[in-house]
Amino acid sequence: MSHPVGSPLRDRIEVEFVEADVEMGFTLVDMAAAELGVGNRAAAAEILASAEAVFGDIEERLARLEGKARTAFEELVRELRRTIDRGKGAI
């Protein structure tokens, strides 16, 4: 059964996906740093590309959320953006 945009259940599901995606984004950056630490720049770049894709997913999901649900993630998402950018700058 489909739930309309803005319904409490759909919003809760979107929030759970955003939470999982944010965690995945930080994990991918950590993995890229580990690859860079052993000199594997190609793998680090590929992993950071995946982190970028996850970040895109986060932005799409947040666009579907309203009010407090969206603003609750603002600082965390900014930190993920900075972390991804730092990782890309290290390559």
pLDDT score, position 2: 47
pLDDT score, position 3: 47
pLDDT score, position 6: 58
For residues 70 and 83, what is the distance between their CA atoms, to the nearest angstrom? Answer: 20
pLDDT digits (tens, 9 = 90+) for 7-51: 688 889 999 999 999 999 999 999 999 999 999 999 999 999 999
CA–CA distances in Å: residue 44 to residues 47, 50, 55: 5, 10, 16
Q: What are phi and psi of 42, to 5 degrees?
A: -65, -45
pLDDT above 90 covers a percentage of the chain that reads 82
* Residue positions counted in the chain: 91
Burial class (CB in 10 A: 0-12, 13-18, 19+), 24: middle
Average pLDDT, integer, range 49-75 = 95
Q: At what angle do helices 41-64 and 74-90 cross, to 10 degrees?
A: 160
For residues 53 and 82, what is the distance between their CA atoms, to the nearest angstrom? Answer: 15
